[in-house]
Amino acid sequence: MATGSSDSKRSRPRSARPRVSVLRVGHRIGRDPRLTTHLALAARALGADRMFLEPPDPELAARVAALARRWGGSFSVEGVDDWKRVVREFAGEVVHLTMYGEPLDRALPRLRTARDLLLVVGGAKVPPEMYRLADRNVAVGPQPHSEVAAVAIVLDRILGVPGPAGFRGARQRIVPRARGKKVVAVRRGR
Ligand code: SAM
pLDDT at residue 9, rounded to an integer:
44
Assess if residue 7 is contained within a domain.
no
- The predicted model gives 130-148 an average pLDDT of 98
Query: CA–CA separation, 158 vs 81, rounded Å?
Result: 28
- The CB of 139 under 6 Å from ligand 1? The reply is yes
**pLDDT at res. 12:** 63
Name the nearest CA neighbour of 170 among 161, 162, 178. Answer: 162
Least confident of 118-127, 153-162, 181-190: 181-190
**179: CA distance to ligand 1 center in Å?**
35
Asked if pLDDT for residue 16 goes beyond 50, the answer is yes
Is the pLDDT at 1 greater than 60, yes or no? no
The answer to whether position 8 is within a domain reads no
Q: Tell me the residue range of the domain where 46 lies.
A: 16-161+170-185
| Inter-CA distances, 60 with 35, 42, 125, 174, Å | 11, 14, 21, 24
Residue 141: CB atoms within 10 A of its CB come to 12
pLDDT at 63 over 60: yes
Closest ligand 1 atom number to CA of residue 141: 23
How confident is the model over 35-48, as a mean pLDDT?
98
What's the mean pLDDT in 35-46? 98
* Percent of the chain topping pLDDT 70: 91
Q: Shortest CA distance to 73 belongs to which of 95, 39, 40, 121?
A: 40
The answer to whether position 63 is within a domain reads: yes
In a domain, 157, yes or no: yes
Q: Which letter does DSSP use for residue 13 in this model?
A: P
- Is position 11 within any domain? no
Mean pLDDT computed over 48-61 = 97
Task: Report if residue 71 sits inside a domain.
Answer: yes
- Residues 7-31 have a mean pLDDT of 80
85-99 in b/e form (b: 16+ CB < 10 A) is: ebbeebeebbbbbbe
Q: Is residue 22 part of a domain?
A: yes
Total structural domains in the chain?
1
Within 8 A by CB and 6+ apart from 87, the residues are 23, 94, 118, 120, 130, 133, 134
Q: What is the average per-residue pLDDT within 149-169?
A: 95
Regarding the beta carbon of 119 and ligand 1, being less than 6 Å apart is answered no
CB of 20 closer than 8 Å to CB of 155? yes
Quick: pLDDT tens for 85-107.
Answer: 999 999 999 999 999 999 999 99
For atom 13 of ligand 1, the residue with the nearest CA is 122
Closest CA relative to residue 99, chosen from 118, 121, 84 = 121
Ligand 1 atom with least separation from CA of 121? 16
Ligand 1 within 6 A of 103 CB? no
Q: Is the model's pLDDT at 184 over the cut of 80?
A: yes
Q: What is the pLDDT, as a whole number, of residue 13? A: 65
CATH value at residue 69: 3.40.1280.10
Question: Which atom of ligand 1 is nearest the CA belonging to 100?
Answer: 4
> Does residue 39 belong to any structural domain of this protein?
yes
On the question of pLDDT at 27 being above 60, the answer is yes
The mean of the pLDDT values for the chain is 92
pLDDT of residue 45: 98
Residue 184 vs residues 5, 65, 67, 161: alpha-carbon distances, Å: 28, 20, 16, 21
